């Protein structure tokens, strides 16, 4: 079928279109209504239907592929590789589910998962889905303050964690950070389930902390049936950053998500049952949810879960896995490719990559040199795809499973089926119909299946944050700038809000500012994202010290910079650490006191700051210019 018609049908006849896609999954009870949009912008997909994500990801495949690989866990950190067949995965998930039930988890309860990239993290996610509990995975790289705010928002009954992760062969203990986070949080989880990898000794809190190894043995023969839940039942929440300091809990449903993932595996990722999928992301991010755990398994594929770096033991490790497991689709981020680009290209030709159909890249803009380099080195199609935590699956890309289409360097592609994408002029609020004009990328409601239902426990915030009404239509903002060319291909030009993207990790500058502000010698701070050759963007902090008297001394300045970085590491995690902290005596503000963020960012990137008629003190920018020039 021609993609334009496929897309048109998804927008003009959504009920017929999505009812067809819904056949890709198993339903316990068929749905009554495909799309209930009676209370915009809220939408209920497949209302009346009942299903279960874990059933579709695991149990459903037992009939045809019980002994085929389902989860392949590879750790180059601890030098271990374990393949779980669908039958074994089914058993492990039931054991984990029985442990959670014993610890008091019931349908609708939240379970927070704070774990490294180990198979038990996937078991925990699937176990929650199995019993109708709502998981909330917090990226293992986040530290105690980030974790505490998520504990307070999700109010979990149980937290599943582990003694430690490992990075570059170095043990990264988790339990201390978790205990600190629970101390900081107002909500106290009743129980903590600890997976002890034997990497780092930790203290147990009597009566609260349970040992997974012990409980698992007790439930070795567990039989825990799938709890059939309504299609609209929340499957998980995943926190993401926005303009304000408090992260939002993106809430996902069950039926819509399951259908959206199954459809995307067929139309976009071309995954066939029995094949192997390899996504290099982390389960703490949305790509890990959709395309390490749920998507490939729903499609009956084996999925590789990888703990380690792309360059250890050498830069051939990922490609050796492609050869060994005959990976057909691989999913990574541009930063990882830029890291590999610095290594010897011989690693790419060392292995047999004939099974690989395409490399999918997402999470941040894919620059042309990186795309060209990897396309040539691999000799495979490189498929950029643009989406967000909120959407759960690609908004813009190429659906080669529907119709083969060419990619264009610098563009993730065209709007996917189900997404009625519009470009809106920021100042007039009108739709841009002409080619090559910059606007805000918006989506006309209803959002398709798989996208966020609401902000966890905060419908008002969902409406206020994301939606605007235009000529009687509800429009969802992606908060990204974009342009569309004459062929309908979109180009993403960066965020319209205060979110930055460091190596594909989405971070809120406000959260980093709040953390830096807690340093006793910080009076004021502004954090902006600055272009970086490797990571796409890095955070740069501009600080006004309370007592700047000693800061003329180089060593004292470096010490304060180091202290501030350590503070961010300890509170938010190293991912949020600014690359530089520069000290200034004033920040560029308007006469009414509003920070001129875009001007500050422009100057920090050596660009023209544009219109400065409202600036109160032009010397503030001059100072930034000089500091940046010195570095």
Contact set with ligand AMP (CB under 6 A): 240, 286, 362-366, 384-389, 412, 478, 480, 492, 495, 501, 506
Q: Nearest-CA neighbor of 194 among 180, 209, 214, 179?
A: 209
Name the residue nearer to ligand AMP (CB basis): 331 or 583. 331
Q: Min. distance of Cβ 16 from ligand AMP in angstroms?
A: 30
Name the residue nearer to ligand AMP (CB basis): 114 or 393. 393
Name the residue nearer to ligand AMP (CB basis): 387 or 466. 387
Name the residue nearer to ligand AMP (CB basis): 86 or 489. 489
Name the residue nearer to ligand AMP (CB basis): 134 or 238. 238
DSSP letters spanning 488-518: S-EEEEEESSSEEEETTEEEEHHHHHHHHHT
Q: Min. distance of Cβ 399 from ligand AMP in angstroms?
A: 15
Torsion of CA 123, 127, 129, 132, to 10 degrees: -160
Q: Min. distance of Cβ 393 from ligand AMP in angstroms?
A: 11
Pairing label, strands 327-332, 276-279: parallel
Name the residue nearer to ligand AMP (CB basis): 109 or 384. 384
Residues 496, 497, 502, 506, CA torsion sign: negative
Q: Min. distance of Cβ 410 from ligand AMP in angstroms?
A: 9
- Say if CB 140 and CB 174 are below 8 A apart: yes
Kindly give, in sequence order, each residue whose CB lies less than 8 Å from that of residue 240, ignoring residues fewer than 6 positions away. 247, 248, 250, 286, 388, 389, 390, 506
Name the residue nearer to ligand AMP (CB basis): 300 or 412. 412
Q: Min. distance of Cβ 221 from ligand AMP in angstroms?
A: 40
Q: Min. distance of Cβ 390 from ligand AMP in angstroms?
A: 7
What stretches of 413-472 adopt beta strand conformation (E)? 414-415, 420-424, 439-444, 454-455, 467-470
Q: Min. distance of Cβ 362 from ligand AMP in angstroms?
A: 5
Cα–Cα distance, 605 to 607 (Å, whole number): 5
Read off the DSSP letter of residue 204: P
Angle between helices 144-154 and 175-184 (to 10 degrees): 60
- Say if CB 480 and CB 58 are below 8 A apart: no
Cα–Cα distance, 195 to 175 (Å, whole number): 10
Counting Cα atoms < 13 Å in the Cβ hemisphere of 160 gives: 35
Name the residue nearer to ligand AMP (CB basis): 140 or 365. 365
Q: Min. distance of Cβ 367 from ligand AMP in angstroms?
A: 10
């Amino acid at each position: 079928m021609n993609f334009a018609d496929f897309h048109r049908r998804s927008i003009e006849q959504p009920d017929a279109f999505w009812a067809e896609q819904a056949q890709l999954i198993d339903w316990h009870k068929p749905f009554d209504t495909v799309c209930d949009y009676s209370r915009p912008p809220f939408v209920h997909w497949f209302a009346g239907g009942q299903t279960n994500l874990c059933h579709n990801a695991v149990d459903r495949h037992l009939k045809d592929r019980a002994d085929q690989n389902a989860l392949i866990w590879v750790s180059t950190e601890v030098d271990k590789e374990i393949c779980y067949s669908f039958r074994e995965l089914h058993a492990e998930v039931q054991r984990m589910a029985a442990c959670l039930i014993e610890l008091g988890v019931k349908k609708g309860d939240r379970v927070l998962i704070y774990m490294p990239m180990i198979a038990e993290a996937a078991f925990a996610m699937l176990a929650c889905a199995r019993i109708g509990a709502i998981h909330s995975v917090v990226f293992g790289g986040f530290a105690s303050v980030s974790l505490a705010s998520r504990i307070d928002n999700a109010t979990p009954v149980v937290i599943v964690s582990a003694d430690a992760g490992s990075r570059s062969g170095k043990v990264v203990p988790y339990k201390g950070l978790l205990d600190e986070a629970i101390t900081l949080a107002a909500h106290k989880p009743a129980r903590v389930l600890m997976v002890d990898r034997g990497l780092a000794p930790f203290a147990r809190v009597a009566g609260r902390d349970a040992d997974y190894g012990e409980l698992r043995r007790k439930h070795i023969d567990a039989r825990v049936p799938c709890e059939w839940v309504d299609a609209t039942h929340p499957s998980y929440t995943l926190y993401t950053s926005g303009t304000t300091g408090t992260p939002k809990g993106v809430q996902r449903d069950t039926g819509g998500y399951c259908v959206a993932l199954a459809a995307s595996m067929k139309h976009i990722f071309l995954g066939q049952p029995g094949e192997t999928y390899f996504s290099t992301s982390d389960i703490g991010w949305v790509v890990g949810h959709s395309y390490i755990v749920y998507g490939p398994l729903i499609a009956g594929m084996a999925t590789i879960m990888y703990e380690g770096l792309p360059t250890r033991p050498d830069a051939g490790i990922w490609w050796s896995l492609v050869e060994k497991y005959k990976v057909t689709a691989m999913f990574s981020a541009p930063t990882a490719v830029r890291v590999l680009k610095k290594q010897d290209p011989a690693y790419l030709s060392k292995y047999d990559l004939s099974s690989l159909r395409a490399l999918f890249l997402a999470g941040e803009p894919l620059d042309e040199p990186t795309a060209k380099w990897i396309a040539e080195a691999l000799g495979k199609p490189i498929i950029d795809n643009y989406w967000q935590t909120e959407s759960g699956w690609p908004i813009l890309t190429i659906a080669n499973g529907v119709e083969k289409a060419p990619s264009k360097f610098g563009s993730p592609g065209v709007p996917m089926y189900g997404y009625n994408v519009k470009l809106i002029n920021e100042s007039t609020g009108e739709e841009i119909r002409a080619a090559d004009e910059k606007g805000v990328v918006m989506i006309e409601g209803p959002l398709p299946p798989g996208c966020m239902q609401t902000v966890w426990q905060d419908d008002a915030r969902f409406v206020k944050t994301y939606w605007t009404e235009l000529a009687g239509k509800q429009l969802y903002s992606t908060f990204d700038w974009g342009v569309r060319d004459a062929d309908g291909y979109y180009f993403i030009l960066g965020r319209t809000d205060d979110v930055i993207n460091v190596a594909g990790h989405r971070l809120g500058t406000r959260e980093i500012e709040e953390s830096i502000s807690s340093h006793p010698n910080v009076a004021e701070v502004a954090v902006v994202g600055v272009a970086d050759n490797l990571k796409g963007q890095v955070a740069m902090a501009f600080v006004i010290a309370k007592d700047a008297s000693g800061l003329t001394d180089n060593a004292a300045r470096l010490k304060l910079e180091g202290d501030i970085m350590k503070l961010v590491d300890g509170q938010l995690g190293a991912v949020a650490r600014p690359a530089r902290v520069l000290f200034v005596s004033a920040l560029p503000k308007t006469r009414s006191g509003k920070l001129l963020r875009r001007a500050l960012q422009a100057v920090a990137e050596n660009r023209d700051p544009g219109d400065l008629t409202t600036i109160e003190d032009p010397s503030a920018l001059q100072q930034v210019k000089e500091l940046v020039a010195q570095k």
